[in-house]
Chains A and B, each alone.
Chain A
Amino acid sequence: MSADQRQDIPLTVAGRVFSSRLLVGTGKYRDFDETAAAVEASGTELVTVAVRRTNLGQNPDEPNLLDALPTSRYTILPNTAGCYTAKDAVRTCKLARELLDGHNLVKLEVLGDDGTLYPNVVETLKAAETLVNDGFDVMVYTSDDPIVAKELERIGCCAVMPLGSLIGSGHGLLNPATLEIILEHAEVPILVDAGIGTPSDAALAMEMGCAGVLINSAIANARQPVRMAHAMKLAVEAGREAYLAERMPRRASASPSSPFAGRINA
């Protein structure tokens, strides 16, 4: 192996090492059995959860998501989905840390409005700074703005997660050119969070050099979620392998794969 070939090193986020580069969200599944089966088929080790008010006065035997996703097997990544201000996002992270016995890895997202779920970058930057100063390891959902990505890195976020397209839209990577700029300058893992619709989207992100992808809707909203979870696993692995292998150059003209020499009509 020559020295300038790309070497595989496992995904490392704030000192935590993961052998899978696929992060899976746990929303929108039919039930916890389907969640657990899809999560297993995806091969992920890092799963997101949301933090919400407990329904009071309900069946005390109601199943708990954290029982379906044992922390011995999965690293839980609580998110701040549904937060529109830095203040609410910080409160949610603190609740998550208490809920998970001091676990300090969080996925920060501060949204701008409920129509686009586009990140509110101003509030995201504020929340990131507060959380980093409070000892959280912050993986941050943001727009695909290279300047903002760099600023979040400077603040101390342990991973920057630009959107490929709007959350839950399944439009894939709408702006690979800006993603490429972000990747070129990044010193922390860059993961595509949001917008992946199908395995080829995930493979493209990985081929470009993303450290990972976070997928929820594309798995949960597939007709067969468990099968799609497996498809995403293969796509992420294939994309990563292709990134390491480095693709052939594009050419303007054809180049035959079979030699010209020895043709019977020569």
Chain B
Amino acid sequence: MHIQLNGDQRELASPLTISELIDQLALTGRRIAVEVNEEIVPRSQHAETRLSPGDRVEIVHAIGGG
């Protein structure tokens, strides 16, 4: 299924939860925040939130800025 991940189209081999996606991206344990379709998905809900086709997912972190 197709999702949009950080602005890019991405094909997922199977339906995933957010936790599984983060794991596939080797981001488990990193300081990140996740938004799906412009709504925050709190960390506590990553394991139970299943992605749907066409979802727009943003994964962000903190970088240097003024």
Residues on A lying within 8 angstroms of B by beta carbon are: 25-29, 35, 48-54, 56-57, 60, 64-66, 76, 78-79, 81, 91, 94-100, 167-168, 214, 216-217
**B 5-55 contacts with A by CB, 8 A:** 5-7, 25-27, 30-35, 38, 40, 42-43
Q: Which 9 A-B pairs have the closest CB atoms?
A: A50-B65, A25-B66, A216-B66, A99-B33, A98-B33, A26-B64, A49-B62, A53-B6, A60-B26
26 A-B pairs (CB sep. < 8 Å):
A25-B66, A26-B64, A27-B65, A49-B63, A51-B33, A51-B62, A52-B63, A53-B59, A54-B59, A56-B25, A56-B59, A60-B26, A64-B31, A65-B63, A65-B64, A66-B62, A81-B66, A91-B35, A94-B35, A94-B40, A95-B33, A98-B34, A98-B43, A99-B31, A99-B33, A216-B66
Q: In the assembled complex, which residues on chain B have CB atoms less than 8 Å from the CB atom of A97?
A: 40
Q: In the assembled complex, which residues on chain A have CB atoms less than 8 Å from the CB atom of B58?
A: 53, 95
Among B26, B31, B60, max chain A CB count under 10 A is at B60
Partner of A99, one of B27, B62, B65: B62
Taking a contact as CB atoms under 8 Å apart, the answer to whether B32 and A54 are in contact is yes
Q: In the assembled complex, which residues on chain B have CB atoms less than 8 Å from the CB atom of A29?
A: 64
Nearest CB of B to A140, in Å: 15
Size class of the B contact interface (CB-based, 8 Å): 20 to 34
Taking a contact as CB atoms under 8 Å apart, the answer to whether B31 and A91 are in contact is no
Taking a contact as CB atoms under 8 Å apart, the answer to whether B27 and A48 are in contact is no
